[in-house]
Amino acid sequence: MKFSFKNDYSEGCHPKILQALLKSNFEQQAGYGEDEYSLQAKKLIKEKINNPDSEIYLVSGGTQANLIVISSVLRPYQCVISAAPGHILNNETGAIEATGHKVLSIETADGKLKPSDIVPVLESHSNIPHQVMPKLVYISNSTELGTIYLAEELEELSDFCRQNGMYLFMDGARLGHGLTAEISDLTLEKVAELTDIFYLGGTKNGALIGEAIVINNPVLQPDFAFNIKQKGALLAKGRLLGIQFTELMKDDLYFDLARHANHQAMKIKNALKERGVEFLADTYTNQIFPVINNDLIKILSEHFEFFVWKKIDESSSAIRLITSWNTADEAVERFIEIIQKEL
Amino acid sequence: MKFSFKNDYSEGCHPKILQALLKSNFEQQAGYGEDEYSLQAKKLIKEKINNPDSEIYLVSGGTQANLIVISSVLRPYQCVISAAPGHILNNETGAIEATGHKVLSIETADGKLKPSDIVPVLESHSNIPHQVMPKLVYISNSTELGTIYLAEELEELSDFCRQNGMYLFMDGARLGHGLTAEISDLTLEKVAELTDIFYLGGTKNGALIGEAIVINNPVLQPDFAFNIKQKGALLAKGRLLGIQFTELMKDDLYFDLARHANHQAMKIKNALKERGVEFLADTYTNQIFPVINNDLIKILSEHFEFFVWKKIDESSSAIRLITSWNTADEAVERFIEIIQKEL
Amino acid sequence: MKFSFKNDYSEGCHPKILQALLKSNFEQQAGYGEDEYSLQAKKLIKEKINNPDSEIYLVSGGTQANLIVISSVLRPYQCVISAAPGHILNNETGAIEATGHKVLSIETADGKLKPSDIVPVLESHSNIPHQVMPKLVYISNSTELGTIYLAEELEELSDFCRQNGMYLFMDGARLGHGLTAEISDLTLEKVAELTDIFYLGGTKNGALIGEAIVINNPVLQPDFAFNIKQKGALLAKGRLLGIQFTELMKDDLYFDLARHANHQAMKIKNALKERGVEFLADTYTNQIFPVINNDLIKILSEHFEFFVWKKIDESSSAIRLITSWNTADEAVERFIEIIQKEL
Amino acid sequence: MKFSFKNDYSEGCHPKILQALLKSNFEQQAGYGEDEYSLQAKKLIKEKINNPDSEIYLVSGGTQANLIVISSVLRPYQCVISAAPGHILNNETGAIEATGHKVLSIETADGKLKPSDIVPVLESHSNIPHQVMPKLVYISNSTELGTIYLAEELEELSDFCRQNGMYLFMDGARLGHGLTAEISDLTLEKVAELTDIFYLGGTKNGALIGEAIVINNPVLQPDFAFNIKQKGALLAKGRLLGIQFTELMKDDLYFDLARHANHQAMKIKNALKERGVEFLADTYTNQIFPVINNDLIKILSEHFEFFVWKKIDESSSAIRLITSWNTADEAVERFIEIIQKEL
């Protein structure tokens, strides 16, 4: 079978998680997230963000986290702003609109939002009450294009949101990858300070399922659990999520796994750059989008699975390569060998 | 008081409507649209569209008509496609999203949709089931920019929708104006043939309130009345709508009123064109968007009310002028006089 | 044609309203409720409730008012409590649920709610977060059974709601009738003091359409207009509502019309009581539910239209008779004559 | 620690599931339910129900399954009918209403629905279009009270639904327990024949998470996957569900586990009956509701965890005892010993 660079959720989970599931399997635990493991996971996250007053909820997946957060934060007439490649805009089957809220799209080159991108949207939504009220800014870190927010960028965006009475929500499906990118100067603690609400993604970073929603702004905390339950996201066996996040948070396994994924992608990126290959965006995380010619795409396809992302011209396309917590050196080396041979 | 060219709903209604309300006032009539006048109005519309099998519902306003139609037609995972200036995208406070459905926006120069505009949207929504399914094409005639669909254009769009398993819905808030534009070759009967569902707008064409939703496609007819009621649109005194549409449909008053509005706008348009003024779009209905310099805007503002629509450059802007069924010759002449004096 | 006692919206509107529509018809007025008449109507209502800080919105009908108020007040996981005959439970095609909220039903003999009715509902909804949170108490005055709240009853209910962190909402589709019932000791001012939000119904009391939503609790005021627009309830020609409520509020026409309707019903009620007829509920407003035998029902049906409400036994049923602002003495007398002859 | 009879999801999962997770962990599999294990699980279920044309979707939990099924099946104006103890009515935080649909409640002694229970609901919902349209009948098997449907009962209900144009949906959170109850004459194949849609619950029968939705009626099959994704239920690592249901379905492990749970409950039930204890309902599955005096409740509480379900009188209450796939003989014997000693 061909090795797949299609995504970061092709394998099961980190072995430590399976060991912990095995070890705890016959313990009786309380249901619905009241188990000891969920409490322990939340405690570990609060320590890492250095905010004992945050509230944390563990749910199964990213679309679920996004729709619960957004529908919980907004009043019926309020909307969310997202960069055009945003996951909520393109890959969630209208999950946000299904909860009643419009998502305004902003075109950006790198999938990131700056205050200056948002200003015109606010200006063009001033015809009260005939238009939706922008109230929440949705960003991803790392983004859907693999790019990341630097500390200064996030600070500016955070300030802008607060000055304009809007909340800032970070989709952290790949937050580990964003924070461990070699050029990143953000920390988890800083993310918690600068956002009103965010989540730590487990599914794409070594867990079987699981995202940890962290609510930093006390205004958004009351009654959040009701939304979790109403949207079908409250697992009877919450221990499944608690055990996973306990393992991921202990000894910083979460960051080690993400760093590994990034590292493997960077090796491929560097090999490609050495041969003069261009990229759709200049990324430092586990997603890279090299532009290569169709012949090479064909050759690579014989050995690996990946997505052809975007046609560039008649003879070349950008492909998307994603590495994971489990991408072995061998696969990376084999990929690089082919490149070096063919380019 | 200054005469207003701000919109086509500044006055009450055509006097014939008030007379009919007076004449019928003390009659006891059945409630909820079962009154004789509503039945009569529906009969008249069916005759004009030459389709005895259509189903017709009278509601109060355009946003209400749009949200009822769209939420009735679509399944939860389906979405609607609209040109970027579409009323449902910009001026309805997210009414469509509030019923659970995404509205996809397509940039177009003239506010109209062509099959070639829609093809790339369909192509980019093929990742089943991760994306919403485009199922309904929403168009306005006349559009929000005052432009209209010619018969051939509507035929092509209608064919395209049918070939692609999508429904075609025409927002007819200003359908009278669209059909009586001097260059129009469409008829009401043709509109009914080519769309699955549309409405005849009364509010902007001489009624106090009222839009007549016409369902041509039998697939969309069953149980429609439930949606009317559920969305709070079923008036106890349905006679108020029935009387108005009976008057508007009798003797083609509806078209006469729209033709008058168009005619007054064309007089101003021609006067401006004679002086070399450019327009945002080349329109033949009761909305015109001339680009004039700021000094002239200031002078006109002393005598008339209107919206400054869009800044063009430091010295000039497009303004929006709307004429109505009740715009008197005198106001138009006074406006033209000032133009002729100042330009 | 047979005279109808089926409802209180069989005729058009009070002649003063038509005269005011005629008189103002050619004035140009601002759209969307910013016209002088809407402002005047709101001013008059604020004076009558002696609360300059209330906020008032005019909409078309009762179901519309109910769904806008409830969806505006509640967060997604909160629900509303209603007596079992409540209009929102039985006659609005699930309009409230369509906005996402459960309506809890409480069985009561007279259609009214007391604190002791609500206590067990709160007790049985304490399994957080697995159950909806009761947050709004919905009552009608007069109720769907024609009964009314006395001042002391409303005070107790209001106190109870405030002590339990719930809002109190009064559906006033027939508020005029409730307040002018001979045994009523409530005033409009008192209603405004004791409820968080209520509306004054026009449709069932002499208007063509129209309900005036009054928001007394400042917490519920911000951004309410957005909900009006989003639900399709913001009329372009808001003057139609403004003119009607101005006429109804001037010189207390609103209360005179309701008092007339009540008076006509009481004449029939007394005539029936004199002959020993029993009633489903002891009402003092314009709805009465006498229990009569089937032979008499048949005879009355030859001369009048009305609903047979509820089968009581093989030989008798309760019928519903509704009188209106326009029910003439003649019709009432004719009805009484038949009764006196037959009983 | 005290042994818990509080529910059937206190432990992790059956060891075979963990072994299968371990064994497959490093395989790369396709995402979103396209993995080999999900395909295998669906194949096994289709074989067991003997219907190759059914469609099957694996989701995480019961509330999620219920809200996806119901919102997928119904049009906006349609509602669902449930027995009063129904999970969707009491324990899902208004999840169904949050998707826009009313749930009509029917009081029943045993938590089961019969055609004669539903007839009056249909009769009282005939005021078109002022009332919601009942379109789906929701039942649980075993029910929330531990009772079960016999084959004849389900046949009658199924026939009734088909004759009345309604769909029948079985919540099978505890379907294994229902089908393996000693008095049950239903089979999985029969359930699939008689319902339009149902699910096989894993969470309460030995899985970590997981319910398998089975769509038997072809009318309800198209596009179902969109709803799964839109509601946030499509797991990236669908393998987690596929592996579990493959293990449960292989060698009928699913039924063995449920039979064990039932058996343990029956042992307790028989011991209590021998001592003359009464029950809230006569059940044959893993939920029993004995009525015992408060002194005994106190003694039992010192050794076991369980819910006090319902106060019966000043001196006694019904308690709820739930056994599971993992309830050991020892715990059951200890419980019986105490009973035998104290009663």
- Band (pLDDT 50/70/90 cuts) for residue C222 is very high
Helices (H), ranges, C115-200: 115-123, 151-163, 175-180, 188-194
Indicate the average pLDDT of chain C: 97
User: Are residues A121 and A43 part of one domain?
Assistant: yes
Domain with residue B274: its CATH number is 3.90.1150.10
User: DSSP secondary structure string, D319-331?
Assistant: EEEE--TT--HHH
What tokens appear for D154 in the block? 């389900």
Q: Is the dihedral of CA C140, C141, C147, C151 positive or negative?
A: positive
- How much is the pLDDT for B343? 87
User: Are residues D297 and D198 part of one domain?
Assistant: no
Question: Rounded CA gap, A193 and D325, in Å?
Answer: 45
Mean pLDDT of C130-155: 98
User: Are residues C297 and C210 part of one domain?
Assistant: no
Question: Rounded CA gap, C246 and C235, in Å?
Answer: 17
pLDDT of C123 > 90? The answer is: yes
Mean pLDDT of C282-306: 96
Pick from D71, D100, D129: which is nearest to B228 by CB? D129
DSSP category for residue D205: G
B94 neighbourhood in chain A, CB within 8 Å: 77, 79, 100-102, 132
User: Are residues C310 and C243 part of one domain?
Assistant: no
Q: What element of type H or E holds D278? A: strand D278-279
- Band (pLDDT 50/70/90 cuts) for residue D343 is confident
Pick from A12, A26, A66: which is nearest to D26 by CB? A12
Among candidate residues D252, D270, D298, the one where a domain is terminated? D252
DSSP category for residue C207: -
Residues in chain C, total: 343
Amino acid at A101: H
Residues D153/D159/D160/D162 CA torsion (nearest 10 deg)? 140
For chain A, how many structural domains are there in total? 2
- How much is the pLDDT for D1? 80
DSSP category for residue A110: S
Question: Rounded CA gap, B141 and C342, in Å?
Answer: 62
In sequence order, which residues have a C-beta less than 8 Å from that of residue A12 and are 6 or more positions away? A18, A208, D21, D24, D25, D26, D27, D237, D239, D240
D99 neighbourhood in chain C, CB within 8 Å: 100
User: Are residues D313 and D165 part of one domain?
Assistant: no
User: Are residues C259 and C248 part of one domain?
Assistant: no
Among candidate residues B222, B251, B280, the one where a domain is terminated? B251
Cis peptide bond prior to B4, omega within 30° of 0? no
Residues facing D279 on adjacent strands:
D290
Q: Which chains touch B (3 or more CB pairs under 8 A)?
A: A, C, D
User: Are residues A134 and A43 part of one domain?
Assistant: yes
Distance (Å) from the C-alpha of residue D253 to the closest C-alpha of chain A? 18
Q: What are the tens digits of pLDDT across the range D18-44?
A: 999 999 999 999 999 999 999 999 999
Cis peptide bond prior to D142, omega within 30° of 0? yes
- Mutate which of C2, C35, C59, C60 to disrupt the B interface (most B C-beta within 10 Å)? C60
φ, ψ of residue D61 to 5 degrees: the values are -150, 175
- How much is the pLDDT for C109? 86
pLDDT of C22 > 90? The answer is: yes
Residues facing C304 on adjacent strands:
C3
Question: Rounded CA gap, B56 and B213, in Å?
Answer: 6
Residue found by looking up tokens 């926006």 in the block: B105
Contact B95 C231 (CB under 8 A): yes
Q: What are the tens digits of pLDDT across the range A175-202?
A: 999 999 999 999 999 999 999 999 999 9
Question: Rounded CA gap, A184 and A170, in Å?
Answer: 16
Q: Is the whole model's pTM more than 0.90, yes or no?
A: yes
User: Are residues C279 and C224 part of one domain?
Assistant: no
A66 neighbourhood in chain D, CB within 8 Å: 232
Q: Angle at CA C286, nearest 5°, toward C284 and C288? A: 70
Q: What are the tens digits of pLDDT across the range A97-156?
A: 999 999 999 999 899 999 999 999 999 999 999 999 999 999 999 999 999 999 999 999
For residue B122, CA distances in Å to B81, B112, B169, B214, D225 come to 10, 17, 17, 27, 19
Question: Rounded to a whole number, what is the distance in angstroms from the first to the last CA of chain B?
Answer: 25
- How much is the pLDDT for D121? 97
* Residue C31 CA from chain centroid, whole number: 27
User: Are residues A224 and A148 part of one domain?
Assistant: yes
Q: What are the tens digits of pLDDT across the range B187-209?
A: 999 999 999 999 999 999 999 99
User: DSSP secondary structure string, D112-138?
Assistant: ---HHHHHHHHHTT-STTTS-EEEEEE
Pick from C77, C91, C93: which is nearest to D94 by CB? C77
DSSP category for residue C27: S
Strand order, beta sheet including C133-140: C55-59, C211-215, C197-201, C167-171, C133-140, C78-83, C103-106
Contact D76 B77 (CB under 8 A): no
User: Are residues B176 and B306 part of one domain?
Assistant: no
User: Are residues B300 and B244 part of one domain?
Assistant: no
Question: Rounded CA gap, C6 and C108, in Å?
Answer: 24
Question: Rounded CA gap, B120 and B116, in Å?
Answer: 8
In total, the C-beta contacts within 8 angstroms joining chain B to chain C are 159
pLDDT of C83 > 90? The answer is: yes
- How much is the pLDDT for A1? 80
- Band (pLDDT 50/70/90 cuts) for residue A343 is confident
Question: Rounded CA gap, D173 and D261, in Å?
Answer: 14
- Mutate which of A88, A97, A101, A307 to disrupt the B interface (most B C-beta within 10 Å)? A97
Among candidate residues C222, C252, C282, the one where a domain is terminated? C252
Indicate the average pLDDT of chain A: 97
Question: Rounded to a whole number, what is the distance in angstroms from the first to the last CA of chain D?
Answer: 25
User: Nearest to residue D113, comparing CAs of D145, D71, D81, D80?
Assistant: D81
Question: Rounded CA gap, A198 and A189, in Å?
Answer: 12
In C, minimum Cα distance to B207 occurs at: C237
Question: Rounded CA gap, B317 and B312, in Å?
Answer: 5
- How much is the pLDDT for A109? 87
Q: What are the tens digits of pLDDT across the range A41-80?
A: 999 999 999 999 999 999 999 999 999 999 999 999 999 9
- Mutate which of B11, B89, B199, B322 to disrupt the C interface (most C C-beta within 10 Å)? B11
- How much is the pLDDT for C132? 98
Q: Is the dihedral of CA D26, D30, D32, D34 positive or negative?
A: negative
| Maximal CA-CA distance, chain D | 62
What tokens appear for C6 in the block? 């089926």
Q: Do residues D70 and D215 lie in contact, with contact meaning Cβ atoms separated by under 8 Å?
A: no
Residues facing A55 on adjacent strands:
A215
Indicate the average pLDDT of chain D: 97
Mean pLDDT of D291-317: 96
- Mutate which of B230, B231, B234, B235 to disrupt the D interface (most D C-beta within 10 Å)? B230
User: Are residues D258 and D119 part of one domain?
Assistant: no
Distance (Å) from the C-alpha of residue A331 to the closest C-alpha of chain D? 13
pLDDT of B109 > 90? The answer is: no
Domain that holds residue A124: 15-253
Residue found by looking up tokens 């389900």 in the block: D154
- How much is the pLDDT for D109? 86
Residues facing A292 on adjacent strands:
A317
Domain with residue D199: its CATH number is 3.40.640.10
Q: Do residues A143 and A112 lie in contact, with contact meaning Cβ atoms separated by under 8 Å?
A: yes
Distance (Å) from the C-alpha of residue A296 to the closest C-alpha of chain D? 24
Centre a 10 Å sphere on the Cβ of residue B6 and count the other Cβ atoms it contains: 17
* Residue D281 CA from chain centroid, whole number: 17
Q: Do residues C25 and C237 lie in contact, with contact meaning Cβ atoms separated by under 8 Å?
A: no
Q: Out of A166-170, B278-282, C64-68, C301-305, which region has the weakest mean confidence (pLDDT)?
A: B278-282
